[in-house]
Amino acid sequence: MRSLSVVFLLVFLGVFAAANIYLSRRFSYFFSIEKTKYMYFTFAALSVFMVAGMVVSSVLTGTAGNVMYFLSSVLAGTLLYLLLSVFLTDITHLIFKTIPPKTLGIVALSVTIAVSAFGVWNAFKLRVTEIEIPVKGLQKEIRIIHISDVHVGHLRGESFIRELAELTNAQNPDVVFITGDLFDGKSRLTQESISPLKLIKAPVYFVAGNHDGYAGVKTVKQFLRNLDINILENQVINFGELQIIGLNHMRSDPDTHDIHASNTSSIKETLDSLDFDESKPTVMLHHSPEGIKYASQHGIDLILSGHTHAGQFFPINLITAMMFPYNRGLHSYEGTKIFVSQGAGTVGPPLRVGTRSEIILIKLVPEK
């Protein structure tokens, strides 16, 4: 494992260095800069600021840490889009050889700025996604708000939680489910940061995610209990005619390993040990979109998850789509449905390109 980590680090550093050399040479060409060393210095300085900013902000709290994190994380996304934009202009130049180099450079910069600016705006634009899901055995409609991956921290705090609570109330839900990663880490890890959750009028149920563990899951849960929010820890509860199973964040089965999840148990083992009515309309809450095979074996109707962020921005969204069989939205497996939220917040670069920040209004309706 350690040797693989070293290899990964070396490969990453090699790719990182190659990208900086490529950008330096292309911008020297675009803008007729004779001394390429100036470009090497510029991109090296930007890279150092990006990495140092993320490292420093991980230990800083308050405004200084928030600003440092925002600038360095946005820079990370912007440099990625600059690399992609320059590559696309090079492809274009192979086809249309008469385009002046300066024009290519201006186009690359313009596209980068436009896409990055849109990505940041889109990341903080919270929307409601509505979906109707028929459930066998249900007698009347149940309105659910599903919230996941808020990531309270450097970029989101009390004002964002207030917006989220007000938007939730506007949907007039019967019940609210939060499927983990309420906090991003230890930044803004205070009761006040999430205090507006008490404004939510419907009952709220919470299961923890991996980032809640990084923040300190016992602390997070105590904050929520202080707000009279229900914590589910491998438990079964009844909400009217609906049966709710809330699981800790864990691996799918005993033979898999997940560095982000608890390795003391698995979804398979936990569902086998829980006492619940398999004939009743049932919703399972679990942070990551896993375990649908075992949920199906127990007659569970619907799983609500998050974790993936749907990749958050291009081209990462293409990678997560390959990594997770259930990456976003509604899917079905042998009678069990799973809905994967794209998340209300963001992690890493606060950009969303090709995805959206959302809460989900789920209308459970009787199956005809």
Band of residue 58 on the pLDDT scale cut at 50, 70, 90: confident
Last residue of a domain, one of 76, 96, 122: 122
Are both 73 and 136 inside the same structural domain?
no
Are both 155 and 295 inside the same structural domain?
yes
| 3-state DSSP of 185-240 | CCCCCCCHHHHHHHHCCCCEEEECCHHHHHHCHHHHHHHHHHCCCEECCCEEEEEC
DSSP string across 27-86: HHHHTT-S-HHHHHHHHHHHHHHHHHHHHHHTT--HHHHHHHHHHHHHHHHHHHHHHHHH
Q: Is residue 262 over pLDDT 70?
A: no
How far is Cα of residue 194 from the mean position of the Cα atoms in its chain? 18
Provide the domain limits for residue 111: 2-122
Q: What is the mean pLDDT of residues 52-79?
A: 91
Q: What is the pLDDT of residue 13?
A: 83
Q: What is the pLDDT of residue 7?
A: 79
Q: Which residue has the tokens 């004939």?
A: 279
Are both 111 and 169 inside the same structural domain?
no
Are both 56 and 140 inside the same structural domain?
no
Are both 151 and 33 inside the same structural domain?
no
Are both 118 and 183 inside the same structural domain?
no
First to last CA, the chain: 52
Q: pLDDT (tens digit, 9 = 90+) per residue, 268-308?
A: 999 999 999 999 999 999 999 999 999 999 999 999 999 99
Cβ neighbours, 10 Å, residue 191: 12
Are both 224 and 132 inside the same structural domain?
yes
Q: What is the pLDDT of residue 357?
A: 98
70 contacts 154 by C-beta, under 8 angstroms: yes
- How far is 153 from 150, CA to CA, in rounded Å? 9
Domain count, the chain: 2
Are both 37 and 155 inside the same structural domain?
no
Q: Is residue 356 over pLDDT 80?
A: yes
Q: Is residue 3 over pLDDT 80?
A: no
Q: pLDDT (tens digit, 9 = 90+) per residue, 167-205?
A: 999 999 999 999 999 999 999 999 999 999 999 999 999
Are both 36 and 136 inside the same structural domain?
no
Last residue of a domain, one of 96, 122, 148: 122
Measured over the CA atoms of residue 149, residue 152, residue 158 and residue 159, the dihedral's sign is: negative
Are both 190 and 255 inside the same structural domain?
yes
- Average pLDDT across the chain, whole number: 94
Last residue of a domain, one of 122, 144, 178: 122
Band of residue 59 on the pLDDT scale cut at 50, 70, 90: confident
Band of residue 329 on the pLDDT scale cut at 50, 70, 90: very high
Q: Exposed/middle/buried for 97, CB within 10 Å: 0-12, 13-18, 19+?
A: exposed
Of the candidates 171, 151, 246, 239, which has an alpha carbon nearest to the alpha carbon of residue 203? 239
285 contacts 207 by C-beta, under 8 angstroms: yes
Q: What is the CATH number of the domain that holds 338?
A: 3.60.21.10
Q: What is the mean pLDDT of residues 302-331?
A: 97
Q: Is residue 55 over pLDDT 70?
A: yes
Q: What is the pLDDT of residue 6?
A: 77
Report pTM.
0.94
Are both 166 and 198 inside the same structural domain?
yes
Residue type, position 250, single letter: M
Band of residue 260 on the pLDDT scale cut at 50, 70, 90: low
Q: pLDDT (tens digit, 9 = 90+) per residue, 94-122?
A: 998 899 999 999 999 999 999 999 999 99
Band of residue 15 on the pLDDT scale cut at 50, 70, 90: confident
Cβ neighbours, 10 Å, residue 346: 28
Q: pLDDT (tens digit, 9 = 90+) per residue, 121-140?
A: 999 999 999 999 999 999 99
Are both 116 and 154 inside the same structural domain?
no
- How far is 198 from 230, CA to CA, in rounded Å? 12
HSE, side-chain direction, 13 A CA sphere, residue 212: 28
